[in-house]
Structure 1
Amino acid sequence: MNAVSPICLIDLAPALRWSKSADVADVLRHARLVDGWWRSLPLPRVLDIAGPTWLAHCLARLAVEQWDHLALDEFLPTLRALAVDMDEIAEPVRGSVLATAGGWDQLVTASPAAMRDWGHPDNCGVLEVVSMVTWRAVHPFTRDCAGGPSPSPALMVEAVRTIANWMPASAPEHVHSALAYLTNATGAGDAESVDDGPQQSPATRAIRTLRALRAQRDEEAAEEPAPASSTPPPSPPPTPSLAESLTRRPRSNSLLGPNRTLRRPAFGPPKALRTETPDDDAPPAEAPAGLGEHPLIDLLDQLFRSWGDLERAVAAERLFAADPVSIRVLSDQLRVDIGEIRNAQRTVEEQLLQWLGSPAGAPVTQHLRDISEQLGAATTIDHLISAHPDHPVEVPSLATPLWRVVITLFTDRRLHNGWLVAAEPHQLRWQTRQLVTGGPSITEAGIRLGKLGIRPQALRAWLLSTPGVSVRDGYVVVDESVAMEAPEQTAAFAAGHAMLPQDSPGSTTANGLPIRRRPAVAQPRQEPRLDVTTSARCFRAPDGRWWHRVDVTADHLNGAPVTVPPGYATHLGLQPGRLLCLTAPGADLLVLVWRDQPAFDSLRPLLRRLSAQPGDRVFITVNGDRLDARRLPSADLTDHGPTSKALHLIGYTAPASTEEALEIIARRISEDTDGAPTDPTRLLDLLTKRGDTDIVNELRPTLYAAH
């Protein structure tokens, strides 16, 4: 039976059940896990995503930093039924435990606070000892306990020896310390029995080590009896191209093969940089699914195989990858010019959009519609994977599971902290809190949140991921002491924030995917002004380039979309229903897409590179497919006059008189500097029509006082 354990982390560590999420979130936060996962996500799934090492280290930190007064077997009660032989513990922890606690039973009945007085050796402190204990508590919930293979100690020793042989003496001290720990923990230093001689270099010793390992594998293979067969052995397959080797690379669990058998890793240079042919004794790749078994997989695979090697490599490494490779790194790996990579990516995106809108791509487009409706406004990655039996299946030409492709093709939702959300996340969580006030039951809360598009399968996890919301004895409780700022009152949000309207006919993007819109204010719909000179927060520099100001918020730093005026998007050449891929400083890829309004999917890579903080102002401009940005840090302008504050809003920081400030602002919002409005009243009217009311509010008192 291969059932998934429903046990969550709060069941393993009961102290977490009574703690506030905010108290432990800093330690337990993980980029690929939903907020509050320790209350809702099964432990085996957590371990599949984050790994036992990460989780054990987090538990050790909590035990040492927050619950050091609890004995370890009180913090993790399952330790009471766990018998561990000291010989099963690696050095230097084993020696530290024997020298202090004396044995396993004495160790787990002690608290971290008491351990601080034990006098641990310098190379192994309290946190290191406790992390070993938490690893033993976590390990039974890994897939290994269901019959999976255990890692080979011999291969671990060989890996450490190979690293030691290749690492130069000039490596940083902390790298040498890390290698020394691995050497002691695995016994790799004692395992060296071959005298390589003083004249041999580390590279020579490493090559000899690898040859010896290969010879040993050949001997093992020769000892196995070959099955009788009259069929001649097949000829070896041709050596794959570099692009094929990249697209066939496993995305995760690279040491696990078919039926979770352990593959033998190859220690050496990265595969993309190797020139030799693959090993003859390498394990066979997983056989692709048969044609007809997965129609969606076959359809997408046929599309990707029709592309060239470069386009397919870009799709696998950048477009559909969980951690996209930068253009520069991919250029180095493929030995291709950066410009060719950019051109290939634009070609891939355009072909995808055209294919999804064509009859050939109709089944995939329909699948995206069906899945979008099934998942609702917010869903976890787990629910997406289990929403269709084909989602975990790999697309052979990309070595990428279908669910990763689906996430990329979604145009009505984005990934945010482990959630696929069809609306602005902060706004949706704020609405959630408003709807569940009064302590409704889980059933009643589900009915209320159904108006927001929250489906029953995601209800509990979504509630627990909302700040200040918890579930107790079947009822939803809101802790008002947990602050949560209300979202900005936009025109689309002001009319009614309690529910999402039903999709109306024709409410789709250019490629046919659904768009969810919030109810609009009851007023005549105005067509957007498509002129950059009349677009808010857009200013023309003396060199003729137009810059757009982004007022940075905490949501932007967390990956929220950043809207831009339609006039500025049109100025850049973007049209409704299309997207524009831009290369930012550092070769980061930014996508500007025009759905119901133009917006960057996220500026987080750019904002992080600029070290931006909430309150900063970032000015962006585009030249061709390259985006440039300048950060204007938030500053205390209390002692500055209104004109200085107004100039700060257009990115001008030099001092200027009122008359000079008006002239500068007039030039910055006009295409023709000779026709710039010089009359103060006319200038204020133009700024108001543009939507630059913040500038108007700074200038108006000064102009009134002057007159």
Structure 2
Amino acid sequence: EPEPEPQPEPEQEPEPVHDRGIPDLIEAAFADLDDKTWAVAQNRVFTDQPSAVDQLAKLFAVPAAEIDQTETRLRARLGSWLASEEAAPYRAHLDELRSTLGPEAPKEAVIGAADWHRADIKALDVPAWQFVLATLAGDKPRFQAFTPVSAPEPHQGNGVVEEPEPQQPQTSKPYQPLKDVSQTRRCFRQPDGRWWLRVDVTAEQLGGGECALPTGFAAYLGLSPGETRTVRSAAGELTMTWHGRPVLESVERLLADVGAKEGGHLFLTLSDEGVLRARHLPVAAQGAENITKALRLVGYTAPGGTRDQAARVIATRIGMTGPVGLPELLTRLRERGDRDLLQLLD
């Protein structure tokens, strides 16, 4: 008997685009965020535990209104993307989730709704489910940061507002930064035992612009809110002020003295004698390995060695002690906000 002809295998249906392409769509849409917008995305927009605006403002040494504006721009950008043709597969995915889970779906249900929800969106450094959760309910932010609410004015039964009791003046406490210097991005402890701030030189600074100081580093130098200080340097006297945010006023002469160029790295600290010390490192060559680039960012210029050796050097430079693995180092860098180092080591 003739053998039966083999039946052709049924063609497998392709994986739906929203299961294989959406993370790439999101990555492409938010790949070019600056550090401040990236931090707002992580801590204000794509999170179920938003940080308070004033906390981020202190971290970046900017007025709270600037963080508000950054968040407004980011939410507008998110809204424009969600309405775009490129985001059509993602909108379809959201519609499906709303019909099956509802717009107020609990976190656990969102995490398990699709395999790719457990992946990370590297451009935002957040789990994909956080992005989904933030956009599931539409334009209205689903989660709000806790802010203390003032007690209502006391009223008598006859509708007359009672005068509050006079309060004793509070004694001012010494300023405590949101993060100390060891938890402050771009701050590294050098072999001399001092903490140095890395300033990535800009054209504006070369032209006489000011240099913003993170609050943790400013406090380390002994500067307090409302204070103005003059410090000596090899290039003459410089002024540090903290009015609104801490800054080192025009660093043009200092940059010229060390031969700094745009994109280079200027490391700053203050000596016991109150002298501002500066060290300049040119930017790593474009073709250099990521390890070499990462070490240059912490002020280390010896040959890079292995990834583990580089991790030990960087861990020491940010104040970590004892045996430190790469996962622990990456976690600490993420907490500090050292996004550039994360990208080079990840």
Instruction: Using structure 1 for the length normalisation, give the TM-score.
Output: 0.25
Higher relative contact order (CA 8 A, sep 6+): 2
The structure with the larger Rg is 1
| Bigger share in strand | 2
TM-score relative to the length of structure 2:
0.50
Higher helix share: 1
